[in-house]
Structure 1
Amino acid sequence: MKITRIAAYQVDLPLNEGRYSWSGGKSVDVFDSTIVQVETDAGFTGYGEVCPLGPFYLPAYARGVRAGLAELAPHLIGANPVELTKLNRKMDAALQGHPYVKSGIDIACWDILGQVTNQPVCSLLGGRYGEDFVLYRAISQATPDEMADNVAGYREEGYRRFQLKVGGDPDTDIARIHAVRERLHPSDKLIADANTGWTMHEAMRVVRGVQDLDVYIEQPCLTYEECLSIRRQTNHPFVLDEVINGIQPLLRGHADLAMDAVNIKISKFGGLTKAKQARDLCVSLGIAMTIEDSWGGDIVTAAISHLAHSTPTELLLTSTDFNSYVSVSTADGAPQRQHGRMAASTAPGLGIQPKLDVLGGPIWST
């Protein structure tokens, strides 16, 4: 079997809540998503998706996905899409770095592999754990009272794990964390995610200001070394995210006892193949994980669900349902949240069928 064509579609994904805000005054109103289509000479077609969180979060941006695909895709025509390790080596040889560009192609090829073998991607990634898995809800940065009210509302919908967007003024962030924790039950999990937004002295003020609360601290500072310095001065469970972009940072973090959990973002690693490698290493090392991506719609959510559902339950801190945040649906068959939980599809491949009327015509193809 050979790849015969690769195409890219562009879709705008407006937010249901109007705006998503996090540290440093960053915000997004409409997400620019790229849907990747991979066709084969055997009649199988797979789909992937890449949706950066704006151009100012990670070294990735939406138009860069499509520019990179135009550079990379011609090198993959004729390659076997189900030889995934070989395909990834070919992508890395053709385009140095830029893992987010490769992610949509890799996801689409897992979709094809599932169709060819008549198995859901979840089974191919290691097997399904339980009937479903737990989700978190990201709480956009606002006033302490507004964030507490938002958490209370989402808790009524069934969520029990919350990622609070902090990383601003330390006094305000301390108030945000206190206000939200007061509205939660003791068994609920609260993650204060600074998204690199604090300096070291600010981070220290916050962790001391919430030292008596049950809260996880996530990525307080920009660099690994800064985060490690805070980790060594707090007893809170500690999560690393933005600095975890490959196997080496995971190994270093484990050796330094730098974290209790990490976030595995599929596109940051370059697709499901390398995200699975990182996931499996974390399982071997006993590191808990949030399985997610930078952002996305139905297809990204489907890919996340298969990786999350094939992760041992005791090491899955949480996952996410990005398609519930946006007002445009791009595929039928995508997983949907139920009372703060989700299950991967049992259909072959990703289990989705893109809505071609929503996608429109491709903006680029080989």
Structure 2
Amino acid sequence: MSRIVRVELTPLFVPFHKHVQESMKSTEGGLGMAIGAEEEWLGGDFVICRLTSDDGKCGVGEAFVWLPETGVSPEQLVDIIEKSLSRYVIGESPFNVEAIRHRMDINVNRSDVAKGLIDMACYDLMGQITGQPAHDFFGGKCVDEVPLAALIALSDVETMIDLCRTFYERGIRTFRLKLGRSIQSDVEIVAGIRDALGPEVRLRVDYNQAYKQPPEAVRAIKAIEPYEIDFAEQPVAASNYNGMAYVQQRVSVPVMAHEGCFSLQDIASLVKMGGINIVGLNSERPGGVTNMLRAIAYAEMEGLGAVLHNQCLGIASAMHIHVAAAKYHALGHAIELFGHLMMEDDLIKERLNYSNGTAKVPTGPGWGVELDEVALRKYATGPTAIIE
């Protein structure tokens, strides 16, 4: 059986396209959202993980990190894997994801983003070894393409409406609207977009913790309930689980956690408290592909929806598409992949196939995409850590 003999970790920064940077400067706080971070958001920080097996195959994982959300920098992520987690990976079979995760969990508390990065690379390596697409390991694909949702940054109403129309013309029928400037502004945005696009489109909203007091968040969500909202994301502070429960129990719109949800335990706690009715997932939360699949199954068992979303590069985008195709009937919501439109490079040799509001499922082994080594070196912010 193949064994992992090398772990490589590369921190990198990929800038937004120039036009995205310029448009972001005109949005709320220069971030396009109501979150209170002080530094400009000019691109994405990532870590690429490569696992090499003793037969020369290589699997790749990708993690997006942003200090206001993940609380960890690329360098810190590399450090925790290099110094504390890699010892539980070297010598193991990539197929033994349960054993690898167990050893990491009993020896290193939390660190779910780092563990998830390793887990993700294991699945790609499985596919490279067997020649199978990754969705084969998730039960096979239900569809050949998955519907996409568009992210609409918080700006003035007309700008947001115009952007929605642009995506609508490209086949998009689901939109995530950044809100949280004020309740009145929220209503003007949602009402304007609903009126412009009509009743057939699906709208979801994201507050990015904008409302510090749960009663105010309740008023904000109730104010937009007439406009048929699929769900409301993170209306109160990430750490305020009691506040999330207060809100969810007083509004009819399903509430979803994002900044406050990093592990399976976080999801279970929020569900048991009555704090969420939608489970939000991405490549590094709640700790990789294995835990993502568990979370989807848990949400389905509890009668909840699940959403895959992130502004990721090509590797993680491909992973999301494979999972969404395999768990299509359990999710119930369009996936949100926006990195290819925001970032100036997606670090894969051939771009994924996006057309008419959908993403086609890659057909090659593993994630079905190949890491662009030239681009990796171009955007690296530090040396590649190599552990053998």
Take 1:241 and 1:93, find their aligned partners in 2: how far apart are those partners?
A: 25
- Structure 2 counterpart SS, 1:173: helix
The separation in 1 between residues aligned to 2:130 and 2:61, in whole angstroms, is 18
TM-score (norm 1): 0.92
Using the alignment, how far apart are the partners of 1:75 and 1:251 within structure 2? 26
Offset of 1:97 from its aligned partner? 1.3
- AA paired with 1:214? E
User: Which amino acid counterpart does residue 2 of structure 1 have in structure 2?
Assistant: R
**What residue in structure 1 maps to residue 120 of structure 2?**
107
Q: Kindly indicate whether residue 329 of structure 2 is the aligned counterpart of residue 317 of structure 1.
A: no
**Mapped partners of 1:172, 1:269: distance in 2:** 32
Query: 2: distance between equivalents of 1:169 and 1:152?
Result: 23
Compute the RMSD of aligned alpha carbons.
2.0
Alignment check: 8 A CA contact 2:13 2:45 kept: yes
Query: How far, CA to CA, are the matches of 1:325 and 1:280 in structure 2?
Result: 31
Name the aligned partner's letter for residue 236 of structure 2.
C
1:60 is aligned to 72
Aligned pair count? 364
Q: Does the CA-based 8 Å contact 2:186-2:224 persist in structure 1?
A: no
**Bigger shift: residues 188-197 or 57-66:** 57-66
Please say which of residues 141-150 and 311-320 is displaced more in the overlay. Answer: 311-320
1:363 aligns with 2:379: no
Aligned to 2:259: 242
Which residue of structure 2 aligns with residue 7 of structure 1? 8
Alpha-carbon displacement from aligned partner over 1:202-259 (angstroms, at most 9, x marks no partner): 3133123223211232221122221221222222233333333333343344445443
**1:58-137 equivalent positions in 2, closer than 5 A:** 58-71=70-83, 72-137=85-150
Aligned partners of 1:301 and 1:320 also within 8 Å: no
CA distance in 2, matches of 1:85, 1:356: 30
The residue that corresponds to 2:235 in the other structure is 220
TM superposition score normalised by structure 2: 0.87
Structure 1 position 155, deviation (Å): 1.2
Equivalent residues in 2 for 1:160-175, closer than 5 Å: 160-175=173-188
The amino acid of 2:313's aligned partner reads: G
| Percent identity of paired positions between Structure 1 and Structure 2 | 21
How far has the Cα of 1:319 moved from its partner? 1.0
Which stretches in structure 2 are left out of the alignment for 5+ residues?
A: 25-30
Unaligned runs of 5+ in 1: none
C-alpha separation between the residues in 2 aligned to 1:115 and 1:166?
42
Matched residue SS, 2:69:
coil
Deviating 4+ runs (over 6 angstroms):
none
- Tell me if the contact between 1:34 and 1:50 (Cα under 8 Å) persists in the aligned partners: yes
CA distance in 1, matches of 2:301, 2:140: 16
SS at match of 1:152: helix
1:55–1:62 Cα contact (<8 Å) kept: no
* Structure 1 residue 187 displacement after superposition: 1.6
